[in-house]
Amino acid sequence: MKYHITAIALFIVLLGNAYAESSIEKYKQNYAAQLIPLLKERMGTELEMETEADAHEHVSILANRMATCQIFAIEGYPQKYQDASIDPVVSGSDIRETTNDVNTMIKTDIKNGELSEQEFETMTEAAIEKYKVCLSYPE
């Protein structure tokens, strides 16, 4: 009986990890898909010297890298904020809207004393630094 419970517990953990990994991959896909048109718009003249296919590939690689770095950056956030940042994008929500919702949640938590200004600043600075470092690594 003890072995059955251990096997079931292990299965649940593995299933949870697989779900988390698939959610992360779905997040990255949705994040990058939303980011590609924005990057093309912002990089306009920089991309004009490339063929359409090359420009799309260049922007797609950058968007996917940014999505990966975003996940890496928020790993230090409390789980509540990670979930609020990831789950809506996994479901197809707009990344800007999701960011605004998380910012509102954080402001409310600070106002209610659940998060201090210092904790917020520390976690934000750490996330920004992790994001920058992640983007700076060669592919």
Q: Higher confidence at residue 9 or residue 108?
A: 108
Q: Mean pLDDT across the chain, nearest whole number? A: 83
> Does residue 8 lie within any of the structural domains?
no
> Does residue 2 lie within any of the structural domains?
no
Residue 118 has pLDDT above 90, yes or no: yes
> Does residue 101 lie within any of the structural domains?
yes
Range of the domain at 65: 24-136
> Does residue 87 lie within any of the structural domains?
yes
Residue 108's alpha-carbon distances to 73, 104, 105, 115, in angstroms, are: 22, 6, 5, 9
Quick one: average pLDDT of 118-131? 94
Count of the separate structural domains present in the chain: 1
> Does residue 104 lie within any of the structural domains?
yes
Quick one: average pLDDT of 20-26? 82
> Does residue 78 lie within any of the structural domains?
yes
Residue 1 has pLDDT above 50, yes or no: no
> Does residue 29 lie within any of the structural domains?
yes
Helices (H), 48-116: 52-73, 79-90, 95-111
pLDDT tens readout for residues 51-97: 777 778 888 898 999 999 999 999 999 999 999 999 999 999 999 99
> Does residue 15 lie within any of the structural domains?
no
Distance CA 97, CA 75 (A): 20
Distance CA 65, CA 78 (A): 23
